[in-house]
Structure 1
Amino acid sequence: MPRQRDPRFSKRQLGRLLRTFREQAGKTQPEVATTMDWSVSKLIRIEKAAVGVSTTDLRALLAEYGMHDPEVVADLVEVAKESREQPWYARYDAVTSEPFRRLLAYEGSTAAIHQFHPVLVPGHLQTADYARAVLGSHYSGVDLDLAVECRLQRQYRFESDRPKMVALVDEAAVRRTIGGPEVLRAQLRHLLARSAEDCTTLRVVPFTSGAHPGMGGGFMLLELDDEIGDTVLFEESVGKDYLATGDSEVVTAAWERFLAIEQLALSEADTTTLLRQLVES
């Protein structure tokens, strides 16, 4: 299914457009707030995407800014409706952290993903059985079923509209028999199939590379589409995960780390050879 923009980004897009329209109309926030009989803080929150805007208020704002084109108004009303919907991952709150839910929100607007994991096959590339074995160390019963469902739904949303993905994994990730030999073998076959796709690059960092900058934990860099134009870092370490956006030092350092790890990885052809050997062993 085609990916849908997350409601929080629809809200951000709408807020940015409304601010642009106000400025083009030559109006200040206090002036508009007075005309609309609002507090200035309400308008500020709408423009900053801190709150949504009703379709009634939206139509009134657009009229105030001289925006009367029926097509433009209809498009923005649709964006406003989208911004007030529940995101697809809302039903998985019990098995996801807030930083991870923010990551899922960003993924709806992702043009490219660069990621590394020192121990596991990345979630986007996991089979259902492998995912269940991994998540089974954290959840059980209904929560385990929900966590697996969330992981598969996340993959499904990329099914017909996959971003470019460059995945680096330590050799430990393709040798560790998570779920048992047959589950791992099926996982490796799946990696071979995915790595044959034009949009997916998979490379293994061999044991012979010794110590490397990725040994501290897995991380993911998301390049967002042109409409948002930002880079997001999601990093996991023991008991901690967080996001950082923009050109901050932490994101720059993560890019440098990724490139350093990439220099140590096997070529795509050698990675394919290794995976085939492991499947046949």
Structure 2
Amino acid sequence: MANIRNLDPSASPLDYYGSELRRLREEAKLSQDQLGGILFCTGSLVGQVETAKKLPTRQFSERLDAALMTGGLFTRLIGLVLKSQLPNWFQPYAEMEAKATYISTYQAQLVYGLLQTPAYARAVLGVENPDRLEEMVAARMERQRILERENPPVLCVILDEAVLYREIGGAEVMGSQLAHLLSFRDHPWIQVQVLPYAAGQHSAMMGSFTLLRFDDDPDVFYAPVYGGGHMTANPQVIRERFVSYARLQATALSREDSAALIARAMEERYGHQPEPEVA
């Protein structure tokens, strides 16, 4: 039997998505099973999305737009739906990150979210969010779409060497994650550096942080804290953190030496052979 649970479209982006799906499906005089056949999925899945019990994917949304000739409605909505799956405290940062022209980050423990593979993200997020794991992984992958747009932000990432050796998700996951990092070694807008153990004490001993720069808005400093995050546009804090970041970049290995260290960790620690560089 078709699921006819009523939704409040104003309750959340997911509820609005589901209510619009039901409205347009019924206008097209299609049953859930009929629409599912067109979308190459089950009618049950259509019903679960309509009742906000299942998170739609971007592929589902694109097929839905084509099937119901919506002019791209669901493809536009899916970004809002996926962003709404991020923790409430993190959403303001994600919105700022998506608007930034320059992103400069130091990460002491983990690969920065914009450069994580799905498997690595799943291992990280599964520690404290097993009940909402797929939704949160999908939301993290959605964040990464800013790197694919026509004018992506400049992204500078400094990883502590410990990040390379902290085995997240097992050897296979880590090998693939490090290979993903190496894929950016010649990217025009993304720079990955490693801060080696040999650096000793450094200007980011207090932990991970990110600096966001914008074309028309004040710079923002963000630092994660347990169960939340601290964000500020205080000019003095920004000034101090930019100096700290400049010192970190000077202390970290060069882009080329960082890639060599990542490749070595990949091979020696996780048994993965790096892909040869294209001449």
Which protein is richer in helix relative to its size?
1
- CA distance in 1 between counterparts of 2:85 and 2:100 reads 25
Alignment coverage as a number of residue pairs: 192
| Partner Cα distance (1:133, 1:191) in 2 | 17
- Give the corresponding residue for 2:220: 232
1:157 aligned residue? 146
Q: Is the 8 A contact 2:203 2:247 kept in 1?
A: yes
| Pairs within 5 Å for 1:100-179 | 100-141=90-131, 143-161=132-150, 162-179=152-169
Structure possessing the higher radius of gyration over alpha carbons: 1
Instruction: Say yes or no: does 1:96 pair with 2:87.
Output: yes
Any stretches of 5+ residues in structure 2 without a counterpart? Answer: 1-75, 269-279
Specify which structure has the bigger relative contact order, considering alpha-carbon pairs within 8 angstroms and separated by 6 or more residues.
1
Aligned equivalents of 2:226, 2:204: Cα separation in 1: 14
Equivalent residue runs for 1:34-113 within 5 Å: 88-89=79-80, 92-93=83-84, 95-98=86-89, 100-113=90-103
Pairwise CA RMSD of aligned residues?
Answer: 2.0
Distance 1:148-1:170 versus aligned 2 partners, 3 A rule: same
For the residues of structure 1 that align with 2:185 and 2:174, how far apart are their CA atoms?
Answer: 16
Q: What secondary structure is seen at the aligned counterpart in 1 of 2:204? A: helix
Q: TM-score, normalised by structure 1?
A: 0.63
Alpha-carbon deviations, 1:150-181, whole Å to 9, x = none?
10011023313321111001000111110001
1:243, CA displacement in angstroms? 1.4
Equivalent residues of 2:100, 2:214 under 8 A apart = yes
Structure 1: 5+ residue stretches without partners:
1-84
- Percent of aligned pairs with the same residue? 29
Q: How far, CA to CA, are the matches of 1:150 and 1:191 in structure 2?
A: 20
Once residues 249 and 87 of structure 1 are traced to their aligned partners in structure 2, the CA distance between those partners, rounded to angstroms, is: 38
* Correspondence 1:243 to 2:243: no
Q: TM-score, normalised by structure 2?
A: 0.64
- Does 1:254 find its partner at 2:241? yes
Aligned equivalents of 2:243, 2:77: Cα separation in 1: 36
Provide, for residues 95-138 of structure 1, a one-character-per-residue CA deviation record: whole Å limited to 9, x for no partner. 4133x211122223211110001011000000000001111112
